[in-house]
Amino acid sequence: MFMIEGVCDWCKQPALLTPHQYLDGKIYCSCKDCYEFACMDVRLYNQEEEAAPFKKIRSDFSSSQRLPTPA
Ligand SMILES: [Zn+2]
C-alpha cells in the first residue's frame, strides 16, 4: 500500500505514501499517519461532489489512471 516515496499531501512530511483519488480525477498521497484522515477527507469531498447540482467530469478519468507510477 504505502509504496510511493514522496511528500505527504496532508502533513507535508517526506514518507512512504499511498494514493487517494478524488472524484474529479486528482490524486493525492497520504502517509500512514494521515491515512485515516485522508480517507475521510476524500470520502467527504467525493460525497459533496456527487451531491453537487452540477456534475463535473466523471467519465473522463478511467480506471487506468487510478495509480500513479512511483517516481
Ligand atoms: Zn502525512
Write down the pLDDT at residue 13.
97
pTM: 0.66
CA-CA-CA-CA torsion sign (7, 11, 17, 18): negative
68: its cell numbers: 500513479
Write down the pLDDT at residue 31.
98
**All structural domains of the chain with their residue ranges:** 4-52
Question: Under a CB-based contact definition with an 8 Å cutoff, are residues 19 and 28 in contact?
Answer: yes
Write down the pLDDT at residue 29.
97
How far does residue 54's CA lie from ligand 1's centre (Å)?
31
Hey, which residues does 7 pair with through a beta bridge?
A: 14
How far does residue 42's CA lie from ligand 1's centre (Å)?
14
Provide the b/e sequence for 48-67 (b: ≥16 CB within 10 Å). Answer: eeeeeeeeeeeeebeeeeee
42: its cell numbers: 476524500
pLDDT per residue over 6-41, tens digit each? 999 999 999 999 999 999 899 999 999 999 999 999
How far does residue 2's CA lie from ligand 1's centre (Å)?
11
How far does residue 8's CA lie from ligand 1's centre (Å)?
5
69: its cell numbers: 507510477
Q: How confident is the model at residue 49 (pLDDT cuts 50, 70, 90)?
A: confident
